Amino acid sequence: MKVLVATARTQGTRSNDFHWCIEGELVRLTEVCSRDQADPDGGCGCGRGFGGLNSHRVTTTAMVAEVPLSRPDYVEAIRSSLEQQGWDPCACCSTDEADDLAALVADWPVGAVVERRLDELVVRTLPAAQ
């Protein structure tokens, strides 16, 4: 299954990049606070960050990866991460989020590195042609 994972690749492209996730862990688009709602470069950083499902830390760069994960397992990874963080782990919300994330990366090649700018994902770099 094609998903987004945390990566340090291209860190430093922006002066406000950060990478506190575990390299290669599954990531999701986290909620954006009022401080960053109008500006992804706001003081918080949540408007440009991806949240790690395992570490519950954040990074500004994610990579498209093919991982040996079924859709139900992906849904469960999101659901259990939300539950661990104290959110209501609504099964339908986790399913919708998994489907939305998979759809976002469906047309991008494995190895593409992306950044987040509020509700938009932008490709920073594509994998080298083989």
117 domain-assigned: yes
Structural domain of 57:
2-68+108-125
In a domain, 92, yes or no: no
Residues 19-46 pLDDT 10s: 999 999 999 999 999 999 999 998 899 9
* pLDDT at 129 > cutoff 90: no
Which pLDDT score is estimated for 117?
A: 96
DSSP 56-105: --EES-EEEEE-S--HHHHHHHHHHHHHHTTS---HHHHHHHHHHHHHHH
In a domain, 99, yes or no: no
Mean pLDDT of the chain: 94
Structural domains of the chain, count: 1
Q: Is the pTM of this model over 0.75?
A: yes
Residue 18 located in a structural domain: yes
Q: What is the pLDDT of residues 80-112, one digit of tens each?
A: 999 999 887 776 789 999 999 999 999 999 999
